[in-house]
């Protein structure tokens, strides 16, 4: 219909008038600036040798138009001015702003293959081998994701245990929209209400042991901060061991566990036992001893008075293969640390904040398993970058002005998201529902595949569930994705993990 109109009207460019039109598309009414071109012969004649750039004001929009010759007339590229910001939520308008060719994808976005071609050309290839070919996501809704070609997937990854409220949660987006219009960032040189309120909520939720919080931007940053805080505390308060010169050396060593994962920055990497992560970047931070997870005798051999600064452990290992700790193990670690004068640090980056059915995973084991420091991140802001370190007052008193800091951490925008997450997690029945659904999922998976010869065990706690098998899980993950189910590998690739919203 448009082409017939073009043949009738000839080459008319309605740029000066703006020619606003109302169009229905994608389930919502869109206001766009229309440009009409003539039929093939007239447009070609008009555009012969023509290439021009001009700025045109249309209402509140300032547009930069570049007209090019092409076979069927002219196309208009919108410049990076107010128009781009106003239309950022409309994929088709955003593609015009980037000068992209028209797409036939259902979502109006760049086809997945084109996206991955751009990634190959411009992005560092650290993820290239892990990303499935031909899949680029453009939209999410609850537990479902949709790619550029319109295919639907059931998401059992939650962005690796991040999207605790699902995709595009309406309550969360409303809250964040209000905050986005109010205040986003001022740095930690100034006070903001959301950060203070979120710190209070985290400390109250971790009662009775935590009294202070420190904000960072990710899980690995939280563990790096915990390393520094533990070292500073021991420097001021630790009972050191005699050196060869007769002077006392303060405790500086750390203990971590097999199959543990604490991050990819140099300090956190040193606490990660898997050689494939550490070897390419050695030497990493020295002074780390490893013990067997869930084995108190192994831990007792490496936790030493006057030498051990802190013990890092995940109460529930996620990347390591969905391995829950035992009550005896965590309570025993607490006693070993007390006897040695070492700090006990829980890494609950993945298992904390409701994932296991308790606010924090260690709370399944009572007050006898409380830590001195705890690190958090992934689900805290439901997809926005944030991390936190909780600690006792005794440790907080050892940290002085300027000992640590972060430009972006604890901003009002991400902390507003964190406050909303905390309020939702503490709603009546929320955590119990996580626990009940987890029990149901483990039961159904056990019925379905527990008897298979290649399945060693189905295990999990709450909505962090894994299936351990005797072979690589990669092909199973790929087949599940082909059938519209997203799961991830864990435990060195011999396990499939589910972390649904």
Weakly modelled stretches of the chain, pLDDT under 70 = 1-108, 241-247, 493-497
What pTM did the predictor assign? 0.79
* CA separation, residue 122 to residues 98, 119, 130, 286 (Å): 16, 5, 17, 35
- Specify the DSSP class assigned to residue 105: -
Among 162, 233, 116, CA closest to 378: 162
> Is 186 strand, coil or helix?
coil
The pLDDT value recorded for residue 128 is 76
- Span 278-288, pLDDT tens digits: 999 999 999 99
**DSSP letters spanning 42-101:** HHHHHHTT--EEEEEEETTEEEEEEEEEETTEEEEEE-SSHHHHHTTT-HHHHHHHTTPP
Between CA 45 and CA 51, with CA 50 as vertex, the angle to 5 degrees is 150
Contact (Cβ atoms closer than 8 angstroms) between residue 174 and residue 384: no
CA 156 centroid distance within chain: 14
Alpha-carbon dihedral sign for residues 443, 444, 448, 454:
negative
- Span 266-325, pLDDT tens digits: 999 999 999 999 999 999 999 999 999 999 999 999 999 999 999 999 999 999 899 999
Among 437, 426, 463, CA closest to 161: 463
- Span 418-427, pLDDT tens digits: 999 999 999 9
CA distance 296 to 328: 8
The pLDDT value recorded for residue 108 is 58
CA distance 380 to 350: 10
CA distance 279 to 275: 5
The pLDDT value recorded for residue 40 is 36
**Inter-helix orientation angle 430-449/412-425, to 10°:** 70
């Amino acid at each position: 219909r448009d082409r017939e109109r073009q043949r009738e009207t000839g080459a008319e460019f309605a740029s000066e008038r703006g020619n606003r039109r109302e169009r229905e598309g994608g389930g919502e009414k869109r206001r766009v600036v229309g440009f009409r071109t003539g039929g093939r012969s007239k447009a070609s004649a008009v555009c012969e040798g023509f290439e021009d750039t001009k700025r045109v004001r249309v209402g509140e929009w300032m547009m930069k138009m570049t007209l090019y010759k092409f076979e069927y007339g002219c196309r208009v590229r919108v410049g990076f001015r107010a128009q781009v910001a106003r239309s950022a939520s409309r994929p088709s308008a955003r593609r015009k702003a980037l000068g992209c060719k028209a797409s036939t994808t259902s979502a109006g976005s760049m086809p997945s293959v084109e996206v991955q071609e751009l990634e190959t050309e411009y992005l560092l290839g650290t993820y290239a081998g892990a990303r499935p070919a031909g899949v680029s996501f453009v939209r999410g809704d609850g537990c479902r994701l949709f790619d550029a070609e319109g295919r639907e997937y059931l998401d059992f990854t939650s962005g690796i245990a991040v999207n605790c409220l699902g995709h595009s949660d309406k309550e969360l987006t409303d809250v964040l929209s209000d905050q986005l219009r109010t205040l986003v960032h001022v740095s930690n040189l100034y006070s903001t209400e959301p950060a203070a309120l979120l710190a209070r909520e985290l400390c109250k939720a971790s009662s009775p042991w935590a009294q202070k919080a420190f904000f960072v931007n990710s899980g690995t940053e939280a563990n790096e901060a915990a390393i520094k805080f533990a070292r500073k505390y021991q420097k001021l308060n630790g009972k050191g061991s005699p050196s060869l010169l007769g002077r006392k050396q303060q405790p500086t060593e750390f203990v971590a566990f097999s199959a543990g994962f604490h991050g990819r920055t140099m300090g956190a990497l040193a606490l990660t036992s898997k050689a494939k992560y550490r070897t390419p970047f050695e030497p990493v931070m020295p002074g780390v001893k490893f013990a067997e997870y869930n084995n108190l005798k192994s831990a007792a051999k490496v936790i030493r008075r006057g030498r051990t600064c802190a013990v890092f452990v995940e109460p529930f290992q996620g990347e390591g293969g969905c391995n829950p700790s035992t009550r005896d193990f965590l309570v025993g670690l607490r006693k070993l640390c007390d006897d040695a004068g070492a700090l006990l640090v829980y890494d609950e980056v993945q298992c904390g904040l409701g994932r296991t059915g308790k606010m924090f995973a260690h709370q399944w084991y009572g007050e006898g398993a409380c830590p001195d420091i705890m690190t958090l991140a992934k689900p805290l802001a439901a997809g926005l970058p944030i991390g936190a370190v909780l600690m006792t007052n005794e440790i907080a008193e050892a940290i002085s002005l300027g000992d640590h800091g972060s430009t972006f951490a604890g901003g009002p925008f991400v902390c507003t998201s964190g406050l909303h997450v905390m309020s939702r997690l503490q709603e009546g029945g929320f955590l119990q529902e996580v626990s009940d659904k987890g029990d149901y999922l483990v039961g159904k998976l056990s019925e379905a595949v527990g008897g298979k010869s290649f399945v060693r065990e189905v295990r999990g706690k709450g909505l962090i569930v894994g299936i351990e098998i005797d072979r690589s899980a990669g092909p199973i993950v790929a087949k599940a994705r082909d059938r519209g189910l997203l799961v991830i590998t864990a435990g060195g690739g011999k396990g499939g993990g589910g972390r649904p919203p």
